[in-house]
């Protein structure tokens, strides 16, 4: 699975729009039993909690302090984890600064199986800024305030949930409705 991270973060290396999130402090992530979820509702609730924890960790990132990246990395796996590590390392090395936070406007279940859950997410990134070391904005001038994404959460063999993909929403990157 190819992990895409378009618009959670605007970087000089073409990640998309901005750091974002809505939960100030992440709640503990529910861990399903190794045999799966009791219901689709349980799967969706656990996946939503994982995504919100990721956004909470993202909002707490200080690009000047790589130690603040670790809570974020612990919530991802696969290509998304690799992309996050590379991107945050590059932003740190470049002296970039992020301000503001993203709010989760809505999370809607798409589908779920024993090992994977997909969510449609609408984020408000209007308060998020990203600047280079000289204070120049790295945010695209025409970035919309709202950002639609599809988040994919997978269950590891241990039962722990990890975010493995973030991509454009069904209507591109625009929230609908």
Mean pLDDT of 126-155: 94
Q: Is 80 exceeded by the pLDDT of residue 8?
A: no
What does pLDDT average to over the chain? 81
Whole-model pTM? Answer: 0.80
Residues 6+ apart with CB under 8 A from 173: 6, 7, 16, 17, 144, 147, 148, 149
Percent of the chain with pLDDT over 70: 76
The residue with tokens 């984020």 is 123
Cα 172 from Cα 166, distance rounded (Å) = 12
Give 32 or 136, the one with higher predicted confidence. Answer: 136
User: What is the number of other CB atoms lying within 10 angstroms of the CB of residue 136?
Assistant: 7
Condensed to tens digits (0 to 9), the pLDDT of residues 55-110 reads 999 999 999 999 999 999 999 999 999 999 999 999 999 999 999 999 999 999 99
- Position 2 pLDDT exceeds 80: no
CB atoms within 10 A of CB 46: 21
Looking at residue 176, what is its pLDDT?
A: 66
**pLDDT for the residue 127:** 95
Residues 101, 21 contacting (CB under 8 angstroms): yes
Mean local confidence (pLDDT), 108-127: 93
Instruction: Extract the tokens encoding 60.
Output: 């707490």
Using CA atoms, how far apart are residues 71 and 25, in angstroms rounded to an integer?
12
Residue 177 neighbours by CB distance under 10 Å: 7
pLDDT score of 34 more than 90:
no
pLDDT of residue 158: 86
């Amino acid at each position: 699975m190819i992990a895409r991270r378009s618009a959670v973060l605007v970087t000089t290396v073409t990640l998309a729009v901005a750091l974002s999130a809505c939960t100030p402090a992440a709640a503990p992530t529910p861990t399903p039993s190794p045999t799966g979820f009791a219901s689709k509702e349980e799967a969706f609730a656990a996946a939503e909690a994982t995504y919100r924890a990721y956004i909470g960790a993202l909002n707490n990132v200080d690009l000047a302090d790589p130690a603040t990246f670790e809570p974020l990395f612990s919530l991802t796996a696969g290509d998304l984890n690799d992309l996050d590590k590379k991107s945050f390392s590059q932003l740190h090395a470049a002296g970039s600064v992020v301000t503001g936070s993203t709010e989760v406007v809505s999370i809607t279940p798409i589908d779920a199986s024993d090992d994977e859950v997909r969510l449609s997410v609408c984020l408000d990134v209007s308060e998020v800024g990203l600047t280079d070391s000289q204070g120049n904005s790295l945010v695209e001038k025409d970035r919309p305030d709202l950002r639609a994404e599809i988040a994919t959460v997978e269950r590891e063999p241990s039962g722990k949930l990890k975010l493995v993909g973030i991509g454009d929403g069904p209507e591109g990157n625009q929230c609908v409705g």
